């Protein structure tokens, strides 16, 4: 399965994996699954850390790179096509970071590892 790990799932996998549901942990550890993490997640982590909504255990660059590496995931760039696809999405979800992740999932045919069931309103398969 091709999976796009959302920001919250990435953060929890890196800082408190025991809080993830057992099925999610199995999916993230299954070598048959190809894991991807969007660069938009680095941006979201930076914003949330800068306004005090979360605490990173180290500098953002190191945290993001190590978290992606620990998952054996690849980094997914933010391409113009995904940004353009956001303009076509219905307004089910107002979070701009999630909307990019949704667009990337739709373009790439990826299921998303997220606890946010609203992703399903866009026709995205959710793994949680």
pLDDT in the model for residue 93: 83
2-127 has which fold? Answer: Rossmann fold (3.40.50)
pLDDT in the model for residue 52: 96
Tokens of 124: 């995205």
Q: For residue range 37-74, list pLDDT tens digits in order.
A: 999 999 999 999 999 999 999 999 999 999 999 999 99
Helix, strand and coil in the chain, % to nearest 5: 55, 15, 35
- Note whether 25 and 62 are within 8 A (CB): no
By CB neighbour count within 10 A (0-12 exposed, 13-18 middle, 19+ buried), where does 77 fall?
A: exposed
pLDDT in the model for residue 5: 98
| pTM, entire model | 0.95
Q: For residue range 89-119, list pLDDT tens digits in order.
A: 999 988 999 999 999 999 999 999 999 999 9
């Amino acid at each position: 399965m091709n999976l796009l790990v959302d920001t919250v799932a990435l953060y929890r996998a890196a800082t408190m994996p025991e809080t993830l549901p057992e099925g999610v942990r199995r999916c993230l550890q299954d070598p048959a699954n190809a894991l991807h993490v969007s660069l938009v997640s680095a941006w979201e982590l930076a914003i949330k850390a800068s306004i005090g909504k979360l605490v990173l255990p180290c500098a953002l660059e190191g945290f993001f790179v190590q978290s992606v590496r620990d998952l054996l995931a690849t980094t997914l760039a933010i391409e113009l096509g995904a940004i353009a696809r956001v303009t076509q999405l219905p307004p089910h979800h107002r979070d701009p970071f999630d909307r990019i992740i949704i667009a990337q999932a739709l373009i790439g045919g990826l299921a998303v590892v997220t606890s946010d069931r609203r992703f399903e309103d866009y026709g995205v398969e959710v793994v949680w």
